[in-house]
Amino acid sequence: MPGQIRWHAVVAAGLALLLSADVVAQSGLGSGSRPKSSTKCFNAPEIEAVAIVRAGMVIRDHARACARRGHDRDLINVWAAFDNTNAEEMKQAVEVRAKAFQRNWPDDPNAAQRDANETVASRQLVDFAPAECVVLRDLVESFKTWRDYMKHVRTVEVGQVKMLYRTCPRRSPGEVPRSEQP
């Protein structure tokens, strides 16, 4: 009898693992292995807007860290100059992002702020070395145009946003097909 119980337990455990793996494969994993919500989604422009804002927050936070640690006190000014030059594009991204969070979390006015806090907190280095500041300066100085910044955003941030949030299954109103994007 004890042998039969063990056999059944092994089969039940194996079946549970297989079923849970199927659920994980369907929904994907987000930040901290948090399952993506099946009721919340972001369309392509919203994903890009979230990525634009996230990239800016991380760069600004890291530039401040470089200044605080005395590695590069002027880097924050270099970023601020780019940010100010492209203020209209940044503002549009912030607005699209805000509307997306409002649509997905209508009862939670702090959802976007929580995302911002998690973004910055998850990217903070324990000890910012001078080499990180040199690399960050090189990155920021490579942003000669908005297109340069968007290349960085699409290379680094968009994939991370897609890991955190589910992409809407259909094109949303106002969404421009990829073939028509600049």
Query: What pLDDT is stored for residue 111 in this prediction?
Result: 87
Predicted TM-score (pTM) of the model is 0.72
pLDDT bucket at 181, cuts 50 / 70 / 90:
low
pLDDT bucket at 13, cuts 50 / 70 / 90:
very low
Residue ranges of alpha helices (H) inside the chain are 2-27, 44-68, 75-85, 87-104, 111-123, 130-141, 146-152, 158-164
Closest CA to 50 of 35, 39, 40, 65: 40
Query: What pLDDT is stored for residue 15 in this prediction?
Result: 37
Using CA atoms, how far apart are residues 138 and 155, in angstroms rounded to an integer? 16
For residues 77 and 169, the model is more confident at 77
pLDDT of 57 > 70? The answer is yes
pLDDT of 82 > 70? The answer is yes
Q: What is the mean pLDDT of residues 83-89?
A: 97
pLDDT bucket at 23, cuts 50 / 70 / 90:
very low
pLDDT of 45 > 90? The answer is yes
For residues 84 and 38, the model is more confident at 84
- The residue extents of the domains of the chain are 1-33, 36-180
pLDDT of 30 > 70? The answer is no
Query: What pLDDT is stored for residue 26 in this prediction?
Result: 38
